[in-house]
Amino acid sequence: MVFDASIPNVKQWSAEIPNLYELLITIKNGGNVVEVVKQDVGFRTSEIKNGNLLINGKYVYLKGANIHEHNDKTGHYQDKETMLLDIKTIKAHNLNAIRTSHYPEPELWYELCNKYGLYLIDEANIESHGMGYGPKSLAKDSTWKEAHLYRTKNMFERDKNQPSVIIWSLGNEAGNGVNFYATYDYLKSVDITRPVQYEGARLDTNTDIFCPMYARIHNMEEYAKTKPERPLIQCEYAHAMGNSVGNLQDYWDVIEKYPALQGGFIWDWVDQGLLATDSAGVSYWKYGGDFGPDTVPSDGNFCLNGLVNPDRTPKPHLLEVKKVYQYIGFTPVNLKNGTISIKNKYAFLNLSNFNFEWEIIGDGKIVNSGKLDDLNLEPDQSINVTIPVQVQAEAGVEYFLSIKAKLKNNWSLLEAGAEMAAEQFELPVFAPVTKVNKADFADVSLQENENAVTITGEGFSVAFDKKAGIMTSFKKGETASVTVAQKSKNTAEVVFNFDLVNDSSQVIANYKSVYTIYGSGDVVVDNQFKMTQKELPEIVRMGMNLQMPRNFDQMSWLGRGPQESYQDRKSGAFVGLYKGSVADQFWAYVRPQENGNKTDVRWLTITDQAGNGLLFAGLPLLEVSAHHNVIADFESDIRSFDNQPGKTPAINRHINDVKPRDLTSVNIDYKQMGVGGDDSWGARTHDQYRLTDKEYSYSFRMKAIAAGDTATELAKVKL
């Protein structure tokens, strides 16, 4: 049934402002009503014009993710409550689009997306990945033409009236050929209101959008420079498997540089794990390799690629997505006088829908705060605002300006007050700390024998095992030589020189640790590393590890947080003063792995409940983490999808395999390589986030602290 009508002053539907009208279709037999059908109607356009995707005539970025129908308790059956939770979490983290990979979702999903505002790429239930893309591809065999058309027609007929569907997708990873030419032609013949896309077509004639998967940043930029007739919107990118989604900001720096680049869909939304309970009653999620006999091959954790856990708990990297995807841009203009530029990156919302709050923070303390006047700023417009940032700088304190945009009123499923955008700027004001006079330090004494050396000062002592290379609980392998010297009456120095050897006992690198112990109780640790052979694996991590008794279970730090961060995934973690238990720093990825790292750390304390413990101050910055486990507890030498017949089974496969130990393990690092973010099967971490130099050095200062000591003040001491 088709009809035309002119509706004056119609309100447009978009993901930002999802205006809906109710259409009632009544079937009568004579004067008797036989059936009434209700359909939500949204008035919107979706088109490709001048090489860009336009919604209601407006340029729109698709900030998306792929979604599978998954529930950790009911499998592929999805209930309304979980759908609503998904939409709320999606909207709260600034995603505006979903690709229904790789099949249409239940009808209820579309109705909810209509109501609460999400753009959908509706994908036909067609994939023949296993047949390949060459001559044997089903796409090229006309015998399968009607099967392709049947599924495409079913999708169209069921979903054609859903305003949230803005693009049709012909399918996924099924090659290209006559059958997809036919399904494209069919959709174009029955629907002139939506573009059609297909990744398998690449730049063939049967796609209106160039929608590759996992295109590298430089490939995207090369395409954009050709001024193409079709926009590039990646149907899959930023493979979110485990601890990942690195370099997302780098992607979007390029996407927002070229009009031809209009976004992409992260793979994917939710880890496909199934809830289980072990014999001790501990809950965990099963995944590939946990079902059926051990003779069944498995891809292991290759279905654990989500931005959220199977129960929809957001992972740390979803906070990075929220920051990168945010629709309000903040850029510095003149930070000295507090001038910044604010840009409205929404396509339809006015920034008058938000309250803007700012704070000036030093050493984790708010020294000034306020609100901006209402910003009546239309989409794609910018305005300069000036914030009073003048402060009386205290010695050694860094000052940051933080600004947040919060909803004035309820929006979609989100409540008033929800934070939708934020930024932080380091202010160009700093008062240096005066160096302390080392001559005023108390004397230290040095006692040495064949196996150990002890430096004792006023109220403290530091002991080293010369043979093992240990300072208290620091351990760094076998030592080649140890040099001990009392540099002055109040300073002592212990130097460990390490020869690092390979399996053939050949020296491949030198490592030197210098401990300078002052009468003040401060210990400065200087580390130097140098490779002595040319062809060596790159360094994954450069740092030191310290094991402390388990009762030292409290952690505080001045650095990026509160969530974990890595050098290629830290734009969403702001510098601040944070604290919590060591146990809370553990992020339980469904398949255990590296977790809990903190970047750009000025100082860290590990203490007991009373406040007794150790202070670590970076000279200048550190990466740190602390757990009640050692690193090996999070790793398995055997990949989880190598659980094949006859192979040694992988260990540490599940979160319940990681048992807390009776210790606190502290990593005091220079850096570790980034987590990577292009894909999970071949792409390397980007060069700028790797440790590829042949030499590295870094330093930090340690000091024992007691209840009542103020870490922020002790960390500023300059020796």
Residue recorded with tokens 């390029």: 254
Query: How far is Cα 454 from Cα 472, in angstroms, rounded to an integer?
Result: 10
214: alpha, beta or left? (left if phi > 0; alpha if psi -120 to 50): left
* DSSP assignment letter at 200: G
From the list 69, 123, 173, 564, the catalytic residue is: 173
Residues forming beta bridges with residue 283, ordered by sequence position: 277
> Which has the closest alpha carbon to 588: 303, 316, 240, 275?
316
295: alpha, beta or left? (left if phi > 0; alpha if psi -120 to 50): alpha
* CA-CA-CA-CA torsion sign (46, 47, 50, 51): positive
Q: Which run of H or of E encompasses 325?
A: helix 316-325
Whether 426 is a known active-site residue: answer no
Residues forming beta bridges with residue 517, ordered by sequence position: 492, 523
Exposure letters 462-483 (e unless 16+ CB within 10 A, then b)? bebbbeebbbeebebeebeebe
Residue recorded with tokens 């910003």: 375
Whether 236 is a known active-site residue: answer yes
Query: How far is Cα 355 from Cα 332, in angstroms, rounded to an integer?
Result: 20
Rg (CA), the chain: 29
From the list 123, 236, 423, 623, the catalytic residue is: 236
Query: How far is Cα 87 from Cα 130, in angstroms, rounded to an integer?
Result: 32
* DSSP assignment letter at 363: T
3-state secondary structure at position 58? strand
Assess contact for 508 and 532: CB atoms under 8 A: yes
Output the CA–CA distances (angstroms, integers) from residue 404 to 329, 348, 373, 573, in the order listed. 11, 20, 13, 13
Assess contact for 651 and 657: CB atoms under 8 A: yes
3-state secondary structure at position 289? coil
What's the length of the chain?
Answer: 719
Angle (deg, nearest 10), helices 107-116 and 80-92: 40
Identify residue 553 by its one-letter amino acid code.
D
* DSSP assignment letter at 177: S
Cβ neighbours of residue 599 under 8 Å, at least 6 residues apart?
Answer: 559, 560, 565, 566, 567, 570, 573, 623
How many Cβ atoms are within 10 Å of 633's Cβ, its own excluded? 18
Q: Would you name the residues annotated as active-site residues?
A: 173, 236
